[in-house]
Structure formats: structure tokens, C-alpha cells
Structure 1
């Protein structure tokens, strides 16, 4: 099975997320089934220039499932962000669940106790696998979904429980008057036209279309869709549809519009697959879109991207509004023109840029000087924004600025070291003149402690006197004392270095790291997904400053949203 999208065109030329997003020409990108752990996150995944990201990683099965949404800062910025469908998870650095936050901080629409009771699975278990990220914009609520697959009968209960919770959350949000956009791998083909295997079975009279669309998960999914076919009476509480299939509405009669192929049988060249990846919206948004389609020509996964393009002006409350005005916090855009620059103040608690491994960076010198972490605010102090042709371009400090700052740091350190250099006798100075000069640095002088404070009775610190005859009381006293003093200071330097090295090693360990990635996929023959493997640990490459070759992340399902 192929796991390296950067081995294919167009990803082969520039193997970066930034270049990939530019190729997709998207403003919102949703990935599903990332299959990475927190320790696998790297700078090139999280700190993509001009983009923000929101991860949901599995809590129980490490390196399994996973969803992430990327948003382009120049065009859109969410006002709230959550992970999980049920709202029982807690925001980062908080012990209060999303559903228990103050109302003004909630996205809302959480399934009620009665609705959760119909799921048959504990709410915490449903949200423990990293299957949902929810972002709220003033325009709509975006749900990035990776639904469980029909792998075997042991997972049927969990799969139906997740879909029941998803149906309840969407219906509750619509009932609140909020517009909803759903993008992701739902792992269900809605009808015979969306599955090559189903079409073959019906043609061979192995089964009927009614039997195919009446399976529990497929029946539930069709209850959500405006043109979904439901056999018999509709379920209680699902009398009305709530979602519009955007891609199918632009291609109502197209067959073979598949988004997933079984790679074990090399089914993609013959287009023997299924359509299980969707871009859906609530019924009051169906006139907002200019185009929608699949990108079956983009390789690198057993799935292909699905996209939807927003119109520049969309109908809202009886008038046409520029889409950018309602895709950012109020007051950011007016009539499509930016009024406020994007800054770190726009970051939400769930933002990947606020993960401690990427937010609280320490310079290697700061580690040995025992300086504290920089705050999140300081992390972005060097970030500048510049308006170019109506878009915001993030700029990091220039090379000269970084060089000057580094020289100031080095020169400041040298002054400290100068104070730690001790005078030597002429005899020793003659010997040292033939050697490279070394300046001694002590923790005491760096902290502003006089050298005299170090002159305590610590016992004999050298072997001077054991291997040569004792000298007279007045003979050679200066050199011996000075040798003794230098030996004591050298041993102190080694001790301090070791202690800081130990603390640095502890910093490199992620207390919340996950277990290894699962080696099993969870896709049936018609509804499979490729695995991604990422094993590089970001801390060693970032904190220690080693130059490493970054392996490309495996990209799976990609749902993109953009507007012209």
C-alpha cells in the first residue's frame, strides 16, 4: 500500500504543507485518519506559514484515527473550536467540559441525555478516538468528521452510536438557527450509484437496491440528506432532512464518481470504488456554492480530495454579503476588505500553535542558564503581518535581525565570562600562551553572586600534594592555591552542566505522548483508507537544533473548501 503522497505529482516538487495547500488553492483543508501521535507532530505540520491548525488525536488507541483542520489566516479565522461530537471532552488546560462552559463560550447543540441514551455507547468513548473537530465561524459551524468504518460486526454498535450522536448534534445546531457544513470521510455510500460493488451485486441479482440502502448506517445517513432515499416510514425525530449533498447536486446523474478505492486489489485504475467522502451543508446554505467536485487525479492515498467552492457573495438575511465578512471575527472584514490584521490574539485554545511543544520554546543557552520558558505571547512577538493585495502574509524576523539578536546574546554572555576568568601565575601563563585561550564560566557569576561566595570549606578538591614532595610553607604557595581554586571551579562547572543537561532531557520527554501507531487499518474492501506513518519526534530536531531530514507525513482523506 502506498503511504507517501509526496512521491507523486504535484506534491513531488515542493514537499511542504504550504506548497500542498497552494496547489489545492484552498482556504480550509480537512484531513481525516491522520494516524499520528502527539509526539509525531513536527514544525512543518503545525507551524505552516500563514495557516492555523486544530488537531483531534485519539485518547485511547494511540496512533489511530485522528482529524485535523487547517485554516488560511489571510481569508478566515474561526471564533470557537472544539473536538468531539458530544461535548464531554475538555479544552486544553481546563477541567471543564465544552458542554459545561459558559454559554457564550460554547458552540452548542450538544446531544441531550435522551439522545445519548439512544447511542448505546458511552459519550466519552465515542469522543476518545479523535474523530471530530468542530470550528465555528460567524457564517456556519464546520464539522470535520472521520466516521468509523464497517470493519467487522464487533464495531457495528460503536459505528451506529457515533452516527446517532452526529445526527443529534447536527439537528440540534440547525434547531438553534446555526448553519452547518460537514466535510470528511463518513465511511458510508449513500446509494447504488455511489458504490461499484453494490452496482455489481444488483446487476448480478445477488441483492437489491432496497436491501442495500436499508442497512442501519446507510438508512440513518439517508435520513439526514434532502434527497436521501428511506424505505418505509421515517424514524421518530428524523422526520425532516437537515443536510444537502453539495457535490451530488452539481453532478446528479454522474456515475463512477468515487472517492475511495481498495488498493490491495489495485482497484483505482479500473475505478472500482465507492463514494464515502462528502461535503455537505444545511439546507439554508445550498445556494452559497459556485462549484463542487472530486479530484480523482490527485494521487498519494486510497482516497481523493473532495472540494466545494463558495460564491464571493452569498445570500444572508435578504441581502448579499461578501463571504469573507462572515468567515472572520466581527469587524475583521467589511465588504471583502480587511480592516484588522491577523495576530496571535486570534488563536483559540485548541490551536496547534499553542501546543506547549511549539508555543513554549527554549533556546539551548536558556536551558543552561536556567531561564524560564517564553510565554505564548512572546512566542509571537517576532511575527509581523503585512497587507499585500488584500491578503495577509506572515513574516518572520529577517535574517539580519536574528543575527544581530544572536550577536547581542553572545556578546552579553562573553562579558559574563570575562568576569569569571581568574588570574594565573606567570609560569602558568607562559604555558597557556601556547594553547587556545579558554574562558571559564560559572553559574555563580551568571547569577550575580560574587566569587568569594564560592570559597567555602568543601574539603580537598585535587590530588595536589599526594604525588610530589610537600613544599615549604612559604614556597610555591600561590600556585598551589590557585591550582586548587581552579580545580574546584572546574568541578562546579561540570556539575552544573550535568544538572542542566538532565533537565533538558526531561524537557524533551512528552508527558502526554501516545503509544505507537496501530498497524491495522479499519476499512472494508469497498470502504478502506490508507494508513499514515509518522515517526520523527519533533523535540530532538527543534530544541537541540540538529538538522534533520523530515519524512513526509502521509496524507489520506482531504476535503477542501475554498471560495473565489
Structure 2
């Protein structure tokens, strides 16, 4: 069973590139999208064999998530059941008999960390939501989580310390989340792999220089570990400032 997650930085924009070919080539059972940047009715996707689910931000051209699934879920939940945080279209949950699949586009703390307090509030509410789900059945969380957890997860940790995505607050929050019974699936398989990233700035030829950050994840409940065959970062796929990440279940 294959899961793909990709921050496309604008679904309408990436559709004009090679999205259809990439989507068909990857042939995922579940394909998760973040940062759709669109409203309902702005795009019709022809994806035969897939059920399509979208969560739109109230603000136009901003945020947004989508999930495409070959298997129809038992239930669908939009957001994280929080009035404070559910106006930006940042999460979708599909329920299946043996797991919950959650896609999320976690808020960026922004230039000058102007949204750090909002981000920390989101983290607390989101982690509480995921913990409640995990009490019912295992969770597979994927998406742009907007944090490089360890110094190994970005090219220039020293110069980026205290920048959005690599503050002590965000990293400590992610550690606390994992300590609640979750694992970073990529580091489960590749604990010491260096120079592997999922996001590169469009500035300064960052991708050409591989000056990137690993901020896109598959995080799963610990008890799913025996069922996971691999976790990958698909750095050869272009079309966005992020590349897709993949999870393979046995």
C-alpha cells in the first residue's frame, strides 16, 4: 500500500506542469496534497478511480489541503475540531478500519516569527486531536509540518537557528509529539542519512545546491512500525519548491 504526500505550492499551478504524469506514475493508493491555494469550483481534476476530498481556507488563494483515495473511507473529518484553527483548511482526516489517515499543512511561524504564538497554539490543539485519534486506532499523519526537527534535517542549521521552522519552540514541540507514541518514519529507517531534504527556497538556486530543509513527513503511531516497509523522499520529482514524500506499508 503506497501513500504519497506533496506540498504543491498551488494545485492549479502544478496541474499546468507535469502533475498528471507524476500522479499516474506514482500510482499511490492515497495521494495527499498541501497548499492547494484554491477555492471550491476553481479546478476540476480528472482522477479516475479516486475519491477526492478538499478542505479550503476561508482566505482566497491561501493554504488548503486535499486527499485523493482509491478506497472510500468510513468517515471524513475536515479540520482538527477547533474553532480557533479550522478556518485555514489545514487538515483532512480519512477513517479506515485499521487506521486514520491525516494530511496537514501546519502553519508557518512567518517572517520575524510573527505567527509563532499561533503556531504553538496549533501544535497543542493538533497534538491533542491526534492523540484522541490514536486512542481509537493507529494514525498515519502526512504533510508539510513546517519544522526541521534536528540539525541533520537542514543544510544550514547554525544560520537558521531561531528562524521559522527551526526555532527551539517548534523543535521541542515536535519532540513532545513524538514522545506521545509517534515516530518519524523516515528517521526510523534512515536515522543518520544526511543531505536529504524535501523543501528548497526558490531563491539563490537553493535546489541546485541542495541547500534545503526536511519539513515534509510521514509520522505514524509507533505500533505501526512492523507494518511499514519503507519511507522515502522523492527528490527527483519537480514542479514545486517541495518534493513528494512516500510511505510504503507491507
TM-score, reference length from structure 2: 0.88
Indicate if the aligned counterparts of 1:38 and 1:57 stay in contact, CA closer than 8 A. yes
Partner residue of 2:35 out of 33, 57, 65: 33
Partner residue of 1:186 out of 132, 142, 145: 145
Size of the aligned set, in residue pairs, is 237
Q: Does 1:79 align with 2:74?
A: yes
1:135 alignment partner, SS class: strand
1:189 alignment partner, SS class: coil
Per-residue CA deviation, residues 93-131 of structure 1 (Å, 9 max, x unaligned), is xxxxxxxxxxxxxxxxxxxxxxxxxxxxxx323000000
In the other structure, the counterpart of 2:65 is: 67
What is the alpha-carbon distance in structure 1 between the residues aligned to residue 206 and residue 91 of structure 2? 29
What is the alpha-carbon distance in structure 1 between the residues aligned to residue 16 and residue 188 of structure 2? 33
Q: Does 1:128 align with 2:123?
A: no
Per the TM alignment, residue 77 of structure 1 is displaced from its structure 2 partner at its CA by: 2.2
Indicate if the aligned counterparts of 1:56 and 1:133 stay in contact, CA closer than 8 A. yes
Distance change >3 Å, CA 187–CA 7, structure 1 → 2: same
Distance change >3 Å, CA 150–CA 294, structure 1 → 2: same
Per the TM alignment, residue 244 of structure 1 is displaced from its structure 2 partner at its CA by: 1.0
Structure 2 unaligned residues grouped into runs of 5+: 1-8
RMSD: 2.2
Indicate if the aligned counterparts of 1:82 and 1:135 stay in contact, CA closer than 8 A. yes
Indicate if the aligned counterparts of 1:7 and 1:300 stay in contact, CA closer than 8 A. no
Per the TM alignment, residue 63 of structure 1 is displaced from its structure 2 partner at its CA by: 1.8
What is the alpha-carbon distance in structure 2 between the residues aligned to residue 136 and residue 161 of structure 1? 25
1:267 alignment partner, SS class: coil
What is the alpha-carbon distance in structure 2 between the residues aligned to residue 279 and residue 186 of structure 1? 9
Distance change >3 Å, CA 159–CA 286, structure 1 → 2: same
Distance change >3 Å, CA 188–CA 53, structure 1 → 2: same
Of Structure 1 and Structure 2, which has the larger fraction of its residues in strand? 2
Tell me which of the two structures has the higher relative contact order, counting C-alpha pairs closer than 8 angstroms and 6 or more residues apart: 1
Indicate if the aligned counterparts of 2:74 and 2:96 stay in contact, CA closer than 8 A. yes
In the other structure, the counterpart of 1:318 is: none
1:270 alignment partner, SS class: coil
Indicate if the aligned counterparts of 1:213 and 1:219 stay in contact, CA closer than 8 A. no
Runs (4 or more) in structure 1 with deviation over 6 Å come to none
2:203 alignment partner, SS class: helix
Indicate if the aligned counterparts of 1:27 and 1:71 stay in contact, CA closer than 8 A. yes
Per the TM alignment, residue 49 of structure 1 is displaced from its structure 2 partner at its CA by: 1.2
In the other structure, the counterpart of 1:310 is: 249
Aligned pairs for 1:332-343 (under 5 A) are none
In the other structure, the counterpart of 1:49 is: 48
Per-residue CA deviation, residues 255-314 of structure 1 (Å, 9 max, x unaligned), is 011100001222001100100000011011011111111010101110000001110xxx
Distance change >3 Å, CA 51–CA 149, structure 1 → 2: same
Structure 1 unaligned residues grouped into runs of 5+: 87-122, 226-239, 312-564
Of Structure 1 and Structure 2, which has the larger fraction of its residues in helix? 1
